[in-house]
């Protein structure tokens, strides 16, 4: 079988801080509990993406990369697909948290580290997020936790729709209520909570904190600011390089109605996520497929693919380095 562009079925994930607004879009209105995350593309064993279209329908992303590694994995820094993409709907504040890097996570969690990037779809009324802290060292952090003064050390920064925020491992951060975003991250599921707003879970118990592990991985006494956008232009269509970091590369592509965008082949699979509008994907001799909002499509290595915009569209194009 010749590898072809595949679409994945979103995976809804219950979160205490999640919401209900996006359920209709993902056709999961029957779920009563709040959904905080929709895993659009995942090779993590905690939630494996499943193909929806073509001869490979029903196969997991892990099965694809094992059977067709040259096409669906390429030169990956992990033995599995190294990028995990989510849509996050936060209707409450998330916990203040931090993620480890590869070295720490592999040693203590048997997983990979987690650097991530947020593409903001909707920002809270305050137009803020928590990003960074004022702890000078581990001792000051531990003392603040013990004395319940963590909030005094948190740094708030501004965000708005269309921003790209890079959150490298070691960065203390939290999304605030009513933020909706797309998250591109390393394939990992390791989070260390530092502070959870004195909240309790559905059984009335405080959620677990990870004070000591967070102390190990926090970046201290550093000045952090979120990644600035770096635009450039390409012919009629507008392509912006949102970020090029050691773990992934993200472009934002804006197309006018009825224009055609060719995605040239490279040495890794290319994932696209439609942010707004509808486009039709053409590949080889297959019939054109509609690419709709928040659908994750993976284009295999070496494949040239054309997107024709039905109306004005915006989509993210995600690749990675080996």
**Is residue 294 situated within a structural domain?**
yes
Q: What is the pLDDT of residues 74-127, one digit of tens each?
A: 999 999 999 999 999 999 999 999 999 999 999 999 999 999 999 999 998 889
* Per-residue pLDDT tens over the stretch 87-100: 999 999 999 999 99
**Of 151, 193, 233, 236, which residue is the catalytic one?**
193
Annotated binding-site residue? 289: no
Rounded Cα gap, residues 301 and 291, in angstroms: 19
CATH of the domain at 13: 2.60.120.10
Whether 127 and 68 map to the same domain: the answer is: yes
Tokens coding 120: 């903001």
In a domain, residue 225? The reply is: no
Q: What is the structure's pLDDT at 308?
A: 95
Domain identity same for 48 and 163: yes
Contact 193, 119 (CB under 8 A): no
Question: Can 9 be counted among the known catalytic residues?
Answer: no
| Residues 85 and 22 reside in one and the same domain | yes
Domain boundary among the residues 217, 246, 277 is at: 217
Query: Any known ligand binding at 210?
Result: no
Q: Determine if residue 29 is labeled as part of a ligand binding site.
A: no
Domain boundary among 176, 196, 217: 217
Domain total for the chain? 2
Q: Is position 70 within any domain? A: yes
Residue 303 lies in a domain: yes
The gap from C-alpha 195 to its chain's centroid, in whole angstroms, comes to 22
Do 166 and 125 share a structural domain? Answer: yes
> Is residue 246 a part of any domain in this protein?
yes
> Could you tell me if 142 and 262 lie in one domain?
no
Q: Is residue 121 part of a domain?
A: yes
Band (pLDDT 50/70/90 cuts) for residue 33 is very high
Residues 170 and 216: their CA atoms lie apart, in Å, by 9
Domain finish residue from 185, 217, 249: 217
Residue-number span of the structural domain to which 291 is assigned: 230-319
Taking all residues of the chain, what is their mean pLDDT, rounded to a whole number? 92
Going by pLDDT thresholds of 50, 70 and 90, the confidence category of residue 224 is low
CA–CA dist 180, 214 (Å, integer): 25
Confidence category of residue 237, pLDDT binned at 50, 70, 90: low
pLDDT confidence band for 321 (50 / 70 / 90) = confident
């Amino acid at each position: 079988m010749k590898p072809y562009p595949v679409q994945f079925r979103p995976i809804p994930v219950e979160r205490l801080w999640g919401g209900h607004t996006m359920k209709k879009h993902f056709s999961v209105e029957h779920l009563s509990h709040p959904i905080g995350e929709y895993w659009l593309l995942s090779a993590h064993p905690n939630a494996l993406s499943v193909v929806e279209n073509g001869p490979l329908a029903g196969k997991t992303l892990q099965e694809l990369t094992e059977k067709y590694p040259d096409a669906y994995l390429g030169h990956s820094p992990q033995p599995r697909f190294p990028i995990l993409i989510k849509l996050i709907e936060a209707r409450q504040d998330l916990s203040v948290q931090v993620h480890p890097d590869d070295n720490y996570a592999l040693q203590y969690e048997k997983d990979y580290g987690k650097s991530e990037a947020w593409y903001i779809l909707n920002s809270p009324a305050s137009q803020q997020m928590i990003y960074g802290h004022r702890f000078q060292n581990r001792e000051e952090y531990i003392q603040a936790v013990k004395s319940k003064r963590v909030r005094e050390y948190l740094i708030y920064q501004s965000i708005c729709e269309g921003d790209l925020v890079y959150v490298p491992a070691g960065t203390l951060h939290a999304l605030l209520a009513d933020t909706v975003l797309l998250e591109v991250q390393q394939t990992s599921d390791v989070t260390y909570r530092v502070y959870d707003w004195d909240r309790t879970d559905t059984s009335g118990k405080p959620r677990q904190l990870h004070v000591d592990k967070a102390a190990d991985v926090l970046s201290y006494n550093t000045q952090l600011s979120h990644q600035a956008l770096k635009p450039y232009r390409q012919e009629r269509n507008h392509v912006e390089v949102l970020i090029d970091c050691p773990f992934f590369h993200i472009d934002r592509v804006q197309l006018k109605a009825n224009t055609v965008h060719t995605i040239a082949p490279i040495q890794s699979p290319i994932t696209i996520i439609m942010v707004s509008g509808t486009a039709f994907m053409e590949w080889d001799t297959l019939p054109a497929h509609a690419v709709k909002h928040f659908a994750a499509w993976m284009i295999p290595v070496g494949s040239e693919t054309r997107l024709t915009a039905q109306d004005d569209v915006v989509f993210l194009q995600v690749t990675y380095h080996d």
